[in-house]
Structure 1
Amino acid sequence: MTHTEVEAGFHGVVSLLDGPLLLRGVGPDGDGSLSQHRRLWNEPARRDAQQLIEMSWKIGLTGRGGAEFPFARKLQAALESGKKRELVVNCSEGEPASAKDSAMMFSAPHLVLDGAQLLAETLDIHHVHVAVPGERPHVAAAIKHAIKERPRGRKAVAFEMHVTSGGFVGGQSAAVLEMVAGRDNLPVTTRTPTAISGLRGRPTMLSNAETLAHLAAVSDLGPERYARWGTPAEPGTRLLSISADGPGGLVLEAPHGVPLAEMLEFCGYDPERPLLLGGYHGTWLSPQQVTNCTLSPSDLARFGAKLGAGVLLPMLPGDCPLTYTASIVDYLAGQRAKRCGPCTNGLPAMADACTRLPLTRSHREAAGLVERIEQLTGLVTGRGACSHPDGTARLVRSMLETFRPEIDQHVDGYCTYA
């Protein structure tokens, strides 16, 4: 396995490992060009909608931007509307810990654009919008170059790039649609799925970059060849960002079903330490859970966890999960859109309580802070203009559930993990 360094991380360079499916051919000699891409992948064949739906169901394709909603169900909803449709490719990773879409668009952009072309032709869409992260200029430049390489002409699919204003909530689905529509790149309250009513009120396929890459791969290879990776129940692979919110971060592709501990060891991390899975809105796994789990959505569900956008944050020696969680919540409180009370008032209060929790030396005060934090998570959940408060509350609740004994340890001046 080879690796290369790409300017795809929130803070700059991340290491990108070549992979078995989506990331094959992206080593040091890869240039991400269309000519190199065509040596590995064929020009997308035209497919009717039923073919795409059947292939997507066969491989269990879900959205890889975090929601994990079945792609086939979203496509079916867009088809049944009978209206003119829109397609938006979402590459706008606003979370500092996520780099997998940026790395893919930097090194293998044409597989994503092939998936978008395939879907656009099926839905009779001639203009595709591509949302890219504003805080990662090298990624935006790579995507702009890739779009210029695509075939042009009267019947070709036209790609238009849109650069986000940056920030954690800028990549949220409703915020992306607002930006593409020419409004502020901020989330708004919406109860209707985008596949029914999205951009300009039309049924909109708002799809993550990795999702579309998998769609292109299964269309080219067929479900049987695609399923050579993964497990019979969960075929295929996942792109993963590991410790990408700091120096030494990496992006890799792993088949479903590999032991989580084995994969972490391969990447140089200790599997007997806590792991934050799913990113800043994710779920904590204890060391015991990490060593008894595989890279599998169904297996992770046993612990109430999801792969989400494929972000893994293993704790390094000296890291304290309580302090680390507090730092994330403090960051998230500063990333609010300031359009609703739960974000404007609830998240800063939650950040303050989480920051004080590992520092207190009074059991009574610690109990009071836990009660306050639990109250705040209940107050913000389900009441925000977008899902930002819900995701933050999920992270905090997971911390309390996984590390409740650690709170008493900290009061006594001791941390199990630091």
Structure 2
Amino acid sequence: MKVAPPKLLEARWLDSARLTAGLDRHQRLDLAAHTRVHLPLHQPGRDGLLALAEAVGLSGRGGAGFPFARKARATLAIADRMGAPPVIVVNGAEGEPASAKDKLLLARAPHLVLDGACLAAAAFGAEEIVIGVAAGSPGEISVPAALAERELPCPARTICLPDRFVSGESGALVRGINGLPVVPAPLKARAADGGTGGVRRRPTLLSNAETWAQLAVAARLGPDSYAAVGTAAEPGTVLLTVNRPGADPLVVEVPTGTLLDPVLNACGIQPGAGVLVGGYHGAWLHPSDAIAAPLSRAGLAALGGTLGAGAIVALPDATCPLGEIAQVAAWLAAESAGQCGPCKRGLPDAADALAVLAAGAAEPAVLENVRCALGSAQGGGACSHPDGTARFLLTALDVFSEDVDAHLSGPGCGRPVQGVLPLPPAKGARLEVDWSRCTGHGLCAVLAPDLIRLGPHGYPTSTTIPVAPWQEHGARRAVNQCPALAVRLQHRV
């Protein structure tokens, strides 16, 4: 089956090319190229595969870092008890705008990901393999083409999910596979347990695309060779997405524990005003801490950071940090599923307060409003979205504290917002307020309190407001009942 070449995402490596092997010579590794680049793959069996994953300390690479062997054992224990074969799920729904590593793997090295999933499917007697990809991503074409090229231990299929931030949450992915809305489940349920948390109520072993590729690499190398690079606690390599201002991101493979400074240097980037590690659920580091930060979960945790999905952004000195942060905060608030209080109230409140702070000359109480809204958002969400967003924003307030002071005491830092922090093109719906018509009735804020905030004089604080799908009903009520006809709902494609 011929496949159109996917958009080329550039891969680099420091020291060892394992996941990225062959990508310097091939735009995409079809099965023939894949078998030339990588060693033959042997099936270790159920106990052998579990022992291998445990020996190399394989953990999830989608952000949470949960031990793979422990998750697999839990899934198999339920499967044995139920007498039902498990389902293997590959999570390639990369909705994080700052991350491209899974897109690269699925587009350019799909067979390495499928190797890991097929190893588990054969060893664990799986009923099915399901690969979730973002609609419109290169994996939508590349993965089905790879499936058609190879023998499979069980039926396998690809499912395309909406290209949204929450689509990559494990519960949202399982719901999408089951034909339900692709949002996190209102009640938390583990995929391993089957029932409402699993695919077709089967025990489900779900891991990130890079995790499955790492399993295939470990099976080829064995525990000792796999641990020849990396740290003793976290052996092997890790994929990073290094975002560059005005250019496409680079996906870089490095041994775990590599310092951040040589990675930035290899990509031609300076630490600038601060470095974000872990993406939009990650944490900001001060430049002096960032250059010596070891790229491992333990090393970054010691600095108050998190490796997350390995997305890295260095913020240049020439852009306004608070303006950049405020734009991402508004996007994250609109990307929520709107199913719990922290997402419906906490994140929009924090985004609104940050927008006021970024505009300059804000009252000191605005900063407290941000911290209060984020504090209330932590710990009570239906998924990790509120906690991750709070970490991203709270660490930004600490790292850019001088800029916060400048925006509180005067018109601001004086720098433009260059849009360095990557965000997808604006799409979906937005509310627009025509201030030439608005007479300050305030009815819109009553009808759509999750969208519209009023300033001290009774007028909306923003003229353009992103509308999430779960907010459209309230938005339409505000438009239809505005006495001054000052509110419009616009849809962007």
TM-score, length of structure 2 as denominator length: 0.77
Query: Aligned ranges for residues 164-175 of structure 1 at < 5 Å?
Result: 164-175=161-172
Cα-to-partner distance string for 1:35-64 (whole Å, 9 max, x where unaligned):
111113345322233322222222221100
Deviation at 1:31, TM superposition (A): 3.0
Of 178, 182, 186 in structure 2, the residue corresponding to residue 181 of structure 1 is 178
Q: Is the 8 A contact 1:99 1:244 kept in 2?
A: no
CA 1:356/1:135 → structure 2, altered by over 3 Å: closer, same or farther? farther
Q: Give RMSD over aligned pairs.
A: 2.1
Q: Deviations over 1:331-371 (max 9, x none)?
A: 11121223233223332221111111132225xx0x21111
The unaligned stretches of length 5 or more in structure 2 are: 417-493
The aligned residue for residue 251 of structure 2 is: 251
Aligned residue runs from structure 1 range 6-405, under 5 A: 7=6, 14-17=9-12, 20-81=17-78, 82=80, 83=82, 84=84, 85-136=86-137, 138-151=138-151, 156-197=153-194, 198-243=198-243, 247-362=247-362, 365=363, 367-405=364-402
Amino acid in structure 1 at the alignment position of 2:282: G
Q: Which has the higher contact order (CA 8 A, sep 6+)?
A: 1
Q: Give the Å deviation of 1:224.
A: 1.1
2:110 alignment partner AA: P
Would the aligned equivalents of 1:272 and 1:291 in 2 still touch at CA under 8 Å? no
User: How far does the alpha carbon of each residue in 1:219-278 deviate from its partner, in whole angstroms, 9 at most, with x for none?
Assistant: 111011112222333211111111179633111111112211111111111035411111
Mapped to 1, the partners of 2:387 and 2:405 lie a distance apart of: 27
Give 2:294's aligned amino acid. T
Offset of 1:100 from its aligned partner? 0.2
Counterparts of 1:417 and 1:112, CA distance in 2: 43
- What's the % identity of the aligned pairs? 38
**One-letter code of the match for 1:127?**
E
Residues 272 and 290 of structure 1 are in contact (CA less than 8 Å); yes or no, is this contact kept in structure 2? no
Between 1:187-196 and 1:79-88, the stretch displaced more is: 187-196
1:144 alignment partner AA = P
Q: Residues 166 and 294 from structure 1, CA distance in 2 versus in 1: closer, same or farther, beyond 3 angstroms?
A: same
Q: 2 CA distance for matches of 1:398 and 1:214?
A: 30
**1 CA distance for matches of 2:307 and 2:73?**
24
Residue 3 (structure 1) aligns with: none
> Contact (CA 8 Å) 2:28, 2:107: kept in 1 or not?
no
Q: What is the Cα deviation at residue 373 of structure 1? A: 0.9
Query: 1:273, 1:417 within 8 Å by CA — same for their partners in 2?
Result: no
For the 8 Å contact 1:98–1:244, the answer to whether it is kept is no
When Rg is computed on C-alpha atoms for both structures, the one with the higher figure is 2
Which moves more between the two structures, 207-216 or 21-30?
Answer: 21-30
User: 5+ unaligned residues in a row in structure 1: which ranges?
Assistant: 1-5
Number of paired residues?
A: 402
| Residues 314-333 of structure 1 deviation map (CA, whole Å, 9 limit, x = unaligned) | 11241233222111111111
**Contact 2:271–2:316, Cα closer than 8 Å, also in 1:** no
Q: Distance in 2 between matches of 1:143 and 1:408?
A: 49
| Pairwise CA distance, 1:187 | 1.4
Q: CA deviation at 1:404?
A: 2.5
What's the counterpart of residue 430 of structure 2? none
The amino acid across from 1:185 in the alignment is V
